[in-house]
Structures are given as C-alpha cells and as structure tokens.
C-alpha cells in the first residue's frame, strides 16, 4: 500500500512541478495599438491573518487608483495584482516569486516591514523598481552595508516616526508626564521606540515609565497600565499596531485610567477593527500624513471613491497606496514610457526620476525622495473625534 501511495504522490508532485515549469520570464507590457501601454504592477501584503486590515486597505486603494487611471485617457494603463504574504518573510519570498513569474514590471513592494526586509534584496538583484506604501522599516530601502537604489518608501521610516512623535509631544504636550508601552519583539515597534527615547531625552520630554510586552503577552496589559498610572503618567505613547492597542484602550477604560493616548501609523486601522467599541478610541492622537477630513480636492475625491466602493473611511495605509500608484504613473509619464521601452533600463530610469521629481498626493504636497529611498513630507497629528480622524490643530 505504501509503495503505491508513494509512486502515486511522486508522480503527482513531478506533474505539478513540470506543469509550472514552463511558465515564467518577463514578457513585457501589452500593447493595444492606440498608443497606450499596459504596465504590470505587483505587490504583496497580508490578506489573511492578524495584519490583514493593512493588506486589504492597500489593495482596495490601489485598485481604486488603477481603475481611475485605466478609465481615464492616460496613455499608461495598469494591470494590478496583489499576492498574500501573511506578513511573513518566508511567504513574502514566495509571493514575490509568483509575481516575478507573472511578469511584474513595477512593484508596490510589501505592505509590512518584516516581509519587505526579506524581499528587499530580491528587488535589488532583479532590478524591479519598488515603492512601498507602508513598510516603514529602513531595512526595506537600505541596510548598514548597502543601499538598494531601486527601493523607495511612500510612508515615513520608523526612526522618523519616533523622532516626529517626540518633537510633537515636546511642542504640544510639554507639561504632560509620559509613559510608553511598546512591543519589544516587533521590529516596527522597537524601531520607533528606540528613536523616540533618544529624541525625547534630547527634547526634555518627561518619560517616567517604559513598559515592554511581547507577542506572547499581548493579551493582558494590566501590569503595564497600573505601573503607568502609579508613575503618574497622563500621556501614554503606544508605538504599536492597533490590535494590542485596542486591548490597552479597553483595559485602561475598565480600570478607570484615562490618560491621553498617542499612537503612530500602526494605530491607524483601529476604527475598522471588528468587534471593537470605537467609542473607546475617542480622543486618541495619532501621527499620520493623512487625515480623511481634509478639505483639499484630492483627499475629498479619494475618500468619497473609497467610501462608495468599500463602505468605510480609508486609513493612512490606503491613502499611501493610492499615492503610490499615482506616483508611479507620474514617474512613468515623465520618463516617456511607451511601447517597446527597454525593460532592463526601467528600474534605473524610474530611480533617477523618483529622486528628482516632486509629487503631490493625498498624503502630502511636494513630496520628494532622497537617494536612500526615504520620503520627505510633513507629518500631521490627528485626533479621533466622533469615530473619525480630525486634524489635531
């Protein structure tokens, strides 16, 4: 019995391997004859598991941007494909390989930092231009040893978020006593915290308590909250993702502790968390480049399109993804991308264009990119009021 099963399964394995063997290779963009050219835009993010709110926000927003562009009279059209990477480095490599086989020409990189760090070197080796909407670790765009020239970011880097948060507190909450609760085994959280700590010390922010937790202890925060309360903190800085943050808000409310909570971009998404009482998030501050209540034409248009299609207010991840698609389109137009454009020079041309151009989007005006791939734009603080983000000042 064993033998038969073995033979059967090995044949199956070989068949699947062989079947998928002949595909692959870069086929280049499609042509339609009327001067338009289709660019294959790929990207990966968590579409299942804990962090799927981010992956879906990015996919939805990018889809809106792609649909808008394809419906317009633009000469450049996009074919968009997003793969699931479960926010895991190992799966991200598989997702990247799938997209490579598909013939991806330009990429939205990954949604999360951990998976992005795992594929950063692949994008560099294969010379595929990539710009991440939300992977905020610097490991996506450069490492200590080398810079990945074709990798860019649309969001702030972790260090910049930490510094900006400390600066904001020093200016606007100068008399507050600050406690920090961060996730020590998370690249993102530890990265933001490290820089925040240094900048807070330099700017004279009064930090009285630093509480760490890990993935295994992310369900109960009563210890940290009690310690923060006992230390007299009236502002709690939470450089963490929204799921543990939602638990913290709930537990703080239960124990009658009501300081000002201050988050960074990981806090974004808390209002769309299933089963979370959004009234608990009232008065939470977060630092983000995007406020859905802004009245400029681009933001109003984007927020309306997103609400019409998906029935919820877009968060910062969505906004960054929307900008990524338009920034790529602008760069492609600027380098004169058209039929028959040499594929192997595309990454270099886009890299040169991105480091020299200026882009206006929903997450900021006059954005520019440095040689190392980091974006330069102004962060805004928003506060959650009546279940929506409102600019803080």
Partner 1 sequence: MKNIFNNLFSKKNRSRTISFLMVIVAYILIEVIMNTVGMSRLFKSLLVPVCCYIILGLSLNLVVGISGELSLGHAGFMAIGAFTAVCVSGFCAQSIPNDILRLALSVLCGSIVSGIFGFIISVPVLKLSGDYLAIVTLAFGQIIKSLINNVYLGFDSRGMQFSFVTNELKLEGGKMLLSGPMGATDTAKISNFTSGFVLILFTLYVIYSLINSKYGRAIMAARDNRIAAESIGVDISKTKTLAFVISSVLAGMAGALYALNYSTLQPAKFDFNTSILILVYVVFGGLGNINGTIIATTVLYILPELLRSLQDYRMLMYAIVLIVVMQITNSATLKQTLEKTTKRFFKKGEAQ
Per CB under 8 A, residues contacting partner 1 are 1-6, 9-10, 12-14, 16-18, 20-24, 47-48, 83-84, 88-90, 93-94, 96-98, 100-101, 114, 117-118, 120-121, 139, 143-145, 184-187, 190-191, 194, 214-216
**Rounded to the nearest whole angstrom, what is the least distance from the CB of residue 48 to partner 1 in the complex?**
5
**Rounded to the nearest whole angstrom, what is the least distance from the CB of residue 41 to partner 1 in the complex?**
16
**Rounded to the nearest whole angstrom, what is the least distance from the CB of residue 324 to partner 1 in the complex?**
21
Say if CB 383 and CB 390 are below 8 A apart.
Answer: yes
Q: Which residue lies nearer to partner 1 by CB, 150 or 289? A: 150
Q: Which residue lies nearer to partner 1 by CB, 76 or 181? A: 181
Q: Rg of the chain over CA atoms, in angstroms?
A: 22
d(CA 8, CA 154): 49
Q: Which residue lies nearer to partner 1 by CB, 64 or 291? A: 64
Q: Which residue lies nearer to partner 1 by CB, 120 or 163? A: 120
Closest CA to 38 of 83, 61, 70: 70
**Rounded to the nearest whole angstrom, what is the least distance from the CB of residue 187 to partner 1 in the complex?**
5
Q: Which residue lies nearer to partner 1 by CB, 244 or 361? A: 244
Q: Is 376 helix (H, G, I), strand (E, B) or coil?
A: strand
Helix or strand (DSSP H, E) at 310: helix 297-310
Which residue carries 């928003």 as its tokens? 382
**Rounded to the nearest whole angstrom, what is the least distance from the CB of residue 339 to partner 1 in the complex?**
26
Q: At 290, phi and psi to the nearest 5?
A: -130, 130
Closest CA to 132 of 148, 382, 270: 148
**Rounded to the nearest whole angstrom, what is the least distance from the CB of residue 65 to partner 1 in the complex?**
19
Say if CB 332 and CB 76 are below 8 A apart.
Answer: yes
Which long-range contacts (C-beta less than 8 Å, at least 24 apart) are formed by 273-279? 273/53, 273/242, 273/243, 273/246, 276/246, 277/250, 278/384, 278/387, 279/387
d(CA 36, CA 206): 58
Q: Which residue lies nearer to partner 1 by CB, 55 or 289? A: 55
Q: Which residue lies nearer to partner 1 by CB, 97 or 385? A: 97
d(CA 58, CA 341): 28
**Rounded to the nearest whole angstrom, what is the least distance from the CB of residue 281 to partner 1 in the complex?**
26
């Amino acid at each position: 019995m064993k033998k038969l099963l073995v033979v059967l399964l090995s044949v199956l394995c070989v068949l699947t391997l062989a079947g998928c063997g002949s595909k692959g290779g870069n086929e280049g963009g499609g042509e339609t004859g009327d001067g338009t050219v289709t660019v294959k835009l790929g990207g990966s993010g968590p579409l299942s598991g804990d962090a799927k709110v981010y992956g879906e926000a990015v996919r939805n927003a990018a889809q809106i941007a792609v649909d808008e562009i394809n419906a317009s009279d633009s000469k450049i059209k996009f074919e968009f494909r997003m793969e699931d990477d479960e926010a895991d480095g190992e799966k991200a490599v598989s997702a990247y390989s799938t997209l490579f086989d598909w013939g991806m020409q330009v990429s939205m990189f990954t949604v999360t930092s951990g998976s992005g760090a795992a594929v950063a070197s692949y994008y560099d080796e294969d010379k595929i231009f990539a710009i991440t909407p939300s992977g905020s670790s610097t490991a996506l765009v450069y490492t200590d040893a080398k810079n990945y020239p074709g990798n860019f970011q649309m969001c702030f880097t972790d260090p910049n978020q930490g510094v900006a948060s400390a600066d904001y507190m020093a200016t606007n909450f100068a008399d507050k006593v600050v406690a920090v609760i961060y996730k020590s085994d998370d690249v993102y959280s530890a990265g933001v915290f490290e820089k925040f700590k240094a900048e807070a010390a330099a700017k004279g922010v009064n930090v009285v308590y630093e509480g760490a937790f890990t993935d295994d202890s992310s369900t109960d925060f009563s210890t940290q909250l009690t310690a923060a309360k006992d230390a007299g903190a009236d502002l709690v800085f939470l450089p963490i993702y929204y799921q543990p943050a939602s638990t913290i808000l709930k537990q703080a409310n239960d124990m009658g502790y009501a300081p000002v909570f201050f988050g960074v971009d990981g806090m974004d998404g808390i209002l769309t968390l299933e089963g979370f009482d959004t009234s608990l998030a009232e008065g939470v501050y977060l630092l983000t480049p995007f406020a859905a209540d802004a009245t400029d034409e681009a933001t109003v248009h984007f927020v309306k399109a997103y609400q019409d299609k998906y029935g919820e207010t877009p968060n910062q991840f969505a906004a960054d993804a929307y900008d990524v698609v338009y920034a790529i389109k602008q760069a492609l137009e600027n380098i004169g991308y058209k039929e028959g454009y040499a594929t192997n020079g595309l990454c270099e041309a886009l890299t040169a264009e991105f480091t020299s151009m200026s882009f206006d989007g929903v997450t900021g005006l006059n954005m520019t990119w440095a040689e190392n791939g980091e974006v330069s734009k102004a962060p805004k603080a928003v506060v959650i009021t009546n279940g929506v983000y409102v600019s803080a000042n």
